[in-house]
Chains A and B, each alone.
Chain A
Amino acid sequence: MEPEEPIHTEATLLPGYVSRTLTTKEREEVELHLESCASCRQDLQETKSMHTALQTAIEKRPGPSPAAFAEVMRRIQQESQSAPTTVRQGQENSWWESIERTFRSLFEVRWAPALASLLIVGQAVLLLSVLGGPEGEITPGSSPVIERGIPPGAPGIPRIKIQVTFVETAQEINIRRLVQGLGGQIIHGPTPEGLYTLGFEHKGTDSRESILSALNAHPDLINTATALHP
């Protein structure tokens, strides 16, 4: 991996020179250097050939099958159907249909009993959590009801959520070993920014800090770790 001889700074610019992505200043620097450097002139020829070869090689690969497109659209539709409110907003119905729906909803009374039931259940859950919920960790501004809804299979135990980025070369088996060793699991990710959310059972007042320390003690696996507040 180490260079056999010192490389010219301009040599590192040659790929950009060939693909015409350098700034004007960089381009002029390269051209000036090429006038007096035979080895970089040879390197430029090689870079041009490699550029063409790679373009051809990659271009000749077949594209994905139509099944991938079908699968993406199927899953989008599936998700849209499971989120009816957002679908309604997105569908471009005619103005008449939307007015009609609005007026119809004013006379629609079936939602009233359902809303009343929801309010009663909500109040009951809130009351129960205040009276008999887990101690300490729920801050005054947080919503214990929402918090309880997150961990499936762990009723009553709030979850610590930590957002992490993994070292790119980290192997999944080692990541899994670390996270599971701390009693957690990956509950979301990666996001478009490469973030993952880990969930851990809340086992005490200082457990968030101890989990963060344990994660940060593995710089070979964890790049960044930040606790998410409920």
Chain B
Amino acid sequence: MSSTNWQDLTDSDLLQSCIPNNQEAFAILYQRYEKRVFQYLMTILNEATLAEETLVEVMLAIWKGLQTFQGQSKVSTWIFGIAHHKAVDALRKVTSLQRGGIPLEDIVETAASNENPLNDTQQKRMAELTNQGLMTLSPDHREILHMAFFEELSYPEIGKLLDIPVNTVKTRVYYAKQQLKKSLQHQGVTKEII
């Protein structure tokens, strides 16, 4: 049974396959989540090196905690829960200013795409402005917008992940959205984005 087609497994089955210390299965789980977790960490930490260091810690915590997954939530919710705690821990230890790292907007600047040039320029501009606006918000607001708009998690899922009531999720998403709108208006870019 060494020819297991890992890619076809659901998250839950893949995670179960990792449990008897199966590094091959874990490598697939890693690849399935690395970009999503990294993007989430970038939203909160806004610094590529720190986000990558934290990604390593998150993945190791997943590996060590495989046995603790109870199956009461989705695997993704469990993984993002771990990422949330690690991100909070990383934020405590260091701020972007202290590290003097590469700001997110610079990374976006270098992120090249080879699609239609006109479309690409517009998209790139939009991405830049949105990222700049996003980074003016508090980490809490950035995080909840990421979860609601990018990960498209439901309000109860977000509540469980952040350990806050569903009504708090609703209002926090609402005010985060308002803050982002204000920030974009302040930059005079509202018409381009909203």
Task: Give me the interface of A with B, judged by CB distance under 8 Å.
Answer: 1, 3, 7, 11-13, 15-16, 18-22, 46-47, 49-51, 53-65, 67-69, 71-73, 75-77, 80, 86-87, 89-92, 166, 168, 170-172, 175, 190-194
Contacts and interface: CB of A to CB of B under 8 A. Distances in A.
Contact of B88 (A18, A75, A77, A194): A194
A90 B175 CA distance: 49
Contact of B35 (A63, A92, A170, A171): A63
Interface string B36-47: 001100110000
A40 to B, nearest CB: 12
Contacts of A91: 21
A1 B175 contact: yes
Contact of A61 (B42, B153, B157): B42
Interface in B75-93: 78, 81-82, 84-86, 88-89, 92-93
Contacts of B13: none
- Which of A50, A58, A63, A87 has its CB near the most chain B CB atoms (within 10 A)? A58
Nearest to B179: A1
Give the dominant DSSP class at A's interface.
helix
Contacts of A50: 149, 177, 180-181, 193-194
Contact of B23 (A20, A60, A64, A77): A77
A61 B108 contact: yes
Interface range for B: 35 or more
A13 B146 CA distance: 16
B21 A57 contact: no
A194 B92 CA distance: 13
Contacts of B39: 58, 61, 63
Given A61-B39, A172-B92, A73 B23 contact: yes
B123 A60 contact: yes
Contacts, number: 161
A60 B111 contact: yes
Contact of B126 (A51, A57, A76): A57
B20 A54 contact: no
A12 B174 contact: yes
A141 B165 CA distance: 40
A57 B149 CA distance: 11
Nearest to A72: B59
Nearest to B88: A168
B123 A56 contact: yes
A46 B174 CA distance: 12
Give the dominant DSSP class at B's interface.
helix
B14 interface: no
Contacts of A58: 39, 43, 146, 150
B30 A192 contact: no
B194 A63 contact: no
Contacts of A20: 152
Contact of A71 (B26, B56, B134): B56
Contacts of B181: 46, 50
B175 A63 contact: no
Interface in B118-132: 123-124, 126-131
10 contacts: A16-B155, A22-B154, A54-B130, A56-B126, A57-B126, A64-B55, A65-B52, A69-B27, A87-B21, A192-B81
A11 B171 CA distance: 9
A80 B2 CA distance: 21
B34 A11 contact: no
Contacts of A67: 52
B35 to A, nearest CB: 4
A175 B110 CA distance: 38
B34 to A, nearest CB: 6
A175 B65 contact: no
A13 B171 CA distance: 9
Nearest to A54: B149
B113 interface: yes
B107 A62 contact: yes
